[in-house]
Amino acid sequence: MDSSSSSPKVGPPAPDSAQPQSPVDLAANSPTPKQSQLISKVLSPAVKLWLRSQVEQVEELQVKIEGGDRRILTGQIQRVGITAHKAIYQGLHLSHLQLVGENIRINLGQVMRGKPLNLLEPIPVTGSLVLEEADLNASLSAPLLANALAEFLATLLKSEIQAVLDAPLPGHQAINLQNSQIIIAAGQLTLSASLVAVSGMLTPIVIRTGLRLKNGHTLQLDRPQWLTHLQAKRGLPLGDLDGFEIDLGPEVDLQELSLENSTLVCRGRVMVTPA
């Protein structure tokens, strides 16, 4: 879904008006005096309930809905702005999230009869996502990251690093990583972990790498290095792993990704599809 990012506050447009779209104050949540009863009493609670049903946990959720009643009564919401903090989605711990979706078609008739809200067609959602270091580490068991780590591990075991290590890695017998930890610094990530073989032998590994966008849905490792320890300033280049790809899925379209001290920030678009 960028992903972890103030805009001038604007009032909702009059019904059926053709006003140009304006930025949404994502922090605004309570109805303005001009907001209709349909939005404040029916739509906002239904949207919040639907959003909470999509995540495993969220500490703070704010929603701002824009649109005229006549248009909403046809089942189309002009714009929804969302701010969320400490949300967990499919095992991913999302520190801060700001999103905007537009021209959203929903089952309003059923919602007004007390039924759950559902999307009627896919919608593109734009925004930003912030992942703090602690939340990224808590996400390592999520399917997306766990699969990427497994593929990374398989490539590492076949890499040229084997030829220069004093104690070669345990090859095909290695099955997983333990005590995995990622440290985020300006422009780079450092992975520290123990490689576990079937025999139970632990081999410590420390790898530092940059991260770049190949395209909107593919991340690549940038000049990864093998370090002898976490504090090492230089390491051995891992040429076989340079350009190693992590596919985020075709529904993701990132425009920006940056690594700052203890924080990963991405901005872009994700396509949200009906269940």
Query: Could you tell me the pTM of the whole model?
Result: 0.78
The answer to whether 225 and 235 have CB atoms below 8 angstroms apart is yes
pLDDT in tens, 216-225: 999 999 999 9
184 and 95 in a common domain: no
Residue 7's contacts (CB-CB under 8 Å, 6 or more residues apart) are 23, 24, 25, 26
Residue 270's contacts (CB-CB under 8 Å, 6 or more residues apart) are 1, 2, 3, 124, 125, 251, 252, 253
| Nearest alpha-carbon partner for 274 in 146, 101, 112, 141 | 101
| Nearest alpha-carbon partner for 191 in 128, 238, 255 | 238
Q: Is residue 91 part of a domain?
A: yes
DSSP states along 39-55:
IIIIIHHHHHHHHHHHS
Is 137's pLDDT higher than 90?
yes
Q: Which domain holds residue 188?
A: 140-272
Higher-pLDDT residue of 196, 63: 63
Is 89's pLDDT higher than 70?
yes
* Most confidently predicted of 52-61, 147-156, 165-174: 52-61
Q: How confident is the model at residue 151, as a pLDDT?
A: 85
pLDDT in tens, 247-257: 999 999 999 99
65 and 181 in a common domain: no
Average pLDDT over every residue of 6-20: 41
Dist. CA 146–CA 249, nearest whole Å: 15
| Nearest alpha-carbon partner for 13 in 84, 101, 72 | 72
Q: Is residue 23 part of a domain?
A: no
111 and 235 in a common domain: no
Dist. CA 211–CA 225, nearest whole Å: 12
| Nearest alpha-carbon partner for 125 in 267, 226, 5, 263 | 267
Is 10's pLDDT higher than 60?
no
Dig out the tokens for 35 from the structure.
Answer: 């907001």
Q: Is residue 14 part of a domain?
A: no
Q: Is residue 77 part of a domain?
A: yes
Is 45's pLDDT higher than 50?
yes
Residue 102's contacts (CB-CB under 8 Å, 6 or more residues apart) are 21, 78, 79, 80, 123, 124
Q: How confident is the model at residue 144, as a pLDDT?
A: 84
Q: Which segments of 106-187 are extended strands (E)?
A: 123-132, 174-185
76 and 47 in a common domain: yes
Q: How confident is the model at residue 40, as a pLDDT?
A: 85
Q: Which segments of 115-230 are extended strands (E)?
A: 123-132, 174-185, 188-197, 202-215, 218-226
234 and 150 in a common domain: yes
Strand pairing class (76-89; 57-66): antiparallel
Q: Is residue 119 part of a domain?
A: yes
Please identify, among 62, 89, 124, the residue that sits at the C-terminal boundary of a domain.
124
Average pLDDT over every residue of 15-33: 42
How many independent structural domains does the chain possess?
2
Average pLDDT over every residue of 144-159: 82
Dist. CA 22–CA 34, nearest whole Å: 17
Q: Is residue 24 part of a domain?
A: no
